[in-house]
């Protein structure tokens, strides 16, 4: 079975550093729970799979060289259209058109370079500006989160900014793959980003650089409280959180705040590993592909089941991040604090095509341990903090709740 992934590109975070998109997964294909005109949309049913029988080239006779209406249309376009177009261009446009016909904004097409960038982003290495992207319901592209000390952070880009243009390229309603590809580039090159912030246009010049992804940050607070911030579920995040939680089980550790705000998702396997750090076996998530049995993913076992946990979420918490929050909430293992999450409960699976490009399709939906479907609904926190209250207020409330859990835990231990 292909390894699952869950994203919101993020998300192919998506999920993508969503410079690379984190909306899904790399070669070999993986599932994620984290996008692309009529004639063009019909041209390539078989081309992308490499089984076309028609003769490539404008000199071909459509009536004799084509084995289908699709081949005939491609040959006719190349031979007679006023504007020259290659078979490769038609193939790409056709695949994008077919995906658009699905009416699924999470389905996506990646050119070979885009797919390679996508894989690099999930591995935590790429050259770009250091942001994760997310797609809104209307197809607009937003900055989901900004990596600390990245070129974007230094230029003043903020989570929540709407991305409209990258250089001269209009990406206002482009797929996340297109937007992410435009953001990436050689180290040292610069690009102007047109953003919308609070409805007002803002141009920001960003200098690209080699970005070493650090998607887990750990802060030690007074009283043994540990804040574990996860920006996205890229490779290695699960083991990084395990190391942090292992440290939390020492004598001075009292509780953990798992901060998933603005996390667009990523690899489902990493999400399961993170949830496992706080569970001793049992259900984390399940999902079902069309015409296949339900797949159940359980915690790995031997997690820290005693340290009090608060999960901090907001409306940018999506996909794989929602898997973790919902699992810990359903299993009564954590108190969820913040605002309602995004509601990305579908799973995407990318597959490579013969030319190195890839298509990513929605192949199913996931269920929380209690059987909840989160797609389009999201997670209602146990303790609600309005987004209008601001980030600092949400953090303060999370710490207050955690200290209450710690006090209750200490009291029961003494009793």
Contact assessment for residue 394 and residue 366, using Cβ atoms and an 8 Å cutoff? no
Tell which residue, 188, 191, 233, 227, has the closest CA to residue 215: 233
Counts of helices then strands in the chain (DSSP H, E):
12, 19
Q: Which two tokens stand for residue 244?
A: 């942090």
Q: Which helix (H) or strand (E) holds 151?
A: helix 151-155
SS3 readout for 61-121:
CHHHHCCCHHHHHHHHHHHHCCCCCCHHHHHHHHHHHHHHHCCCCCCEEECHHHHHHHHHH
Burial class of residue 197 (count of CB atoms within 10 Å of its CB; 0-12, 13-18, 19+): middle
Report the catalytic residues: 319, 330, 344
| Cα(113)–Cα(43) distance, integer angstroms | 22
| Cα(174)–Cα(64) distance, integer angstroms | 38
Contact assessment for residue 177 and residue 34, using Cβ atoms and an 8 Å cutoff? no
């Amino acid at each position: 079975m292909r390894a699952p992934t869950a994203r919101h590109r993020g998300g192919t975070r998506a999920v993508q550093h969503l410079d690379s998109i984190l909306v899904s997964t790399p070669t070999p294909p993986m599932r994620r729970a984290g996008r692309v005109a009529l004639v063009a949309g019909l041209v390539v049913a078989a081309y992308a799979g490499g089984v076309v029988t028609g003769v490539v080239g404008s000199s071909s006779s459509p009536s004799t060289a084509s084995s289908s209406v699709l081949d005939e249309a491609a040959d006719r376009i190349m031979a007679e259209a006023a504007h020259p177009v290659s078979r490769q261009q038609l193939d790409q446009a056709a695949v994008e058109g077919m995906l658009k016909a699905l009416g699924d904004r999470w389905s996506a097409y990646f050119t070979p370079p885009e797919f390679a960038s996508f894989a690099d982003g999930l591995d935590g290495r790429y050259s770009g500006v250091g942001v994760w992207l997310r797609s809104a319901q209307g197809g607009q592209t937003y900055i989901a989160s900004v990596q600390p000390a990245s070129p974007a952070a230094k230029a003043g880009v903020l989570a929540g900014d709407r991305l409209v243009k990258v250089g001269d390229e209009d990406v206002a309603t482009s797929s996340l793959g297109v937007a992410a590809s435009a953001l990436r580039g050689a180290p040292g090159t610069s690009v102007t980003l047109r953003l919308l912030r609070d409805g007002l246009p803002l141009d920001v010049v960003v200098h690209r650089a080699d970005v070493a992804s650090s998607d887990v940050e750990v802060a030690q607070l007074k009283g043994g409280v540990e804040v574990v911030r996860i920006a996205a579920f890229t490779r290695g995040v699960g083991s990084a959180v395990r190391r942090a939680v292992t440290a939390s089980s020492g004598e001075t550790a009292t509780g953990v705040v798992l901060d998933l705000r603005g996390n667009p998702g990523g690899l489902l396997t990493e999400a399961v590993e993170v949830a496992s750090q706080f569970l001793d076996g049992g259900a984390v998530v399940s999902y079902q592909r069309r015409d296949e049995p339900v797949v159940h993913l359980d915690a790995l076992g031997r997690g820290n089941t005693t340290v009090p946990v608060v999960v901090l979420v907001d409306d940018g918490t999506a996909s794989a991040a929602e898997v973790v929050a919902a699992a810990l909430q359903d299993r009564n293992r954590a108190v969820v604090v913040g605002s309602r999450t995004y509601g990305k409960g579908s799973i995407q699976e990318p597959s490579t095509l013969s030319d190195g490009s890839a298509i990513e399709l929605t192949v199913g939906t996931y269920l929380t341990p209690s059987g909840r479907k989160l797609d389009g609904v999201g997670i209602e926190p146990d303790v609600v903090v309005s987004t209008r209250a601001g980030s600092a207020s949400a953090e303060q409330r999370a710490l207050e709740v955690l200290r209450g859990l710690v006090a209750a835990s200490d009291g029961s231990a003494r009793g």
